Amino acid sequence: MGNPQPVFVARGVVAHRCKVVGGGQHLRMTLGQGTARLHAIGFRMAERLRDIDFGSTALDVAFQLQQDEWNGRERLQARLIDVRVAE
């Protein structure tokens, strides 16, 4: 208790299946690097779709890991904190 949740960084990832959810406010995607995949959600990040070509641009992402529970299913997902075009 009392410890801050860690923030992770992944560099050079590619976003797959990007879509806007939550009444047009949130961004949902799957992050990929090599054969690894991780579901991700960016709350209040839907406007980023206008700024970044997610399907063909390598990204650097900052995120926290969380357990997602939806319709009786549980999975690990990234809660996006920030996204930028990879340098």
Q: What is the pLDDT of residue 55?
A: 73
pLDDT of 59: 94
**pLDDT tens-digit profile, the chain (87 residues):** 788 999 999 999 999 988 999 998 999 999 999 999 999 999 999 988 777 877 778 999 999 999 988 888 999 999 999 999 998
Residue with structure tokens 């700024």? 51
pTM for the structure as a whole: 0.86
Could you tell me the domains of the chain? 8-85 (2.40.50.460)
Concatenate the DSSP letters of all residues of 28-48 into one string.
Answer: EEEEEETTEEEEEEETT-TTH
Give the span between the Cα atoms of 63 and 42, in whole angstroms: 9
Contact (Cβ atoms closer than 8 angstroms) between residue 38 and residue 16? no
Tokens matching residue 53: 């070509």
pLDDT value of residue 27: 93
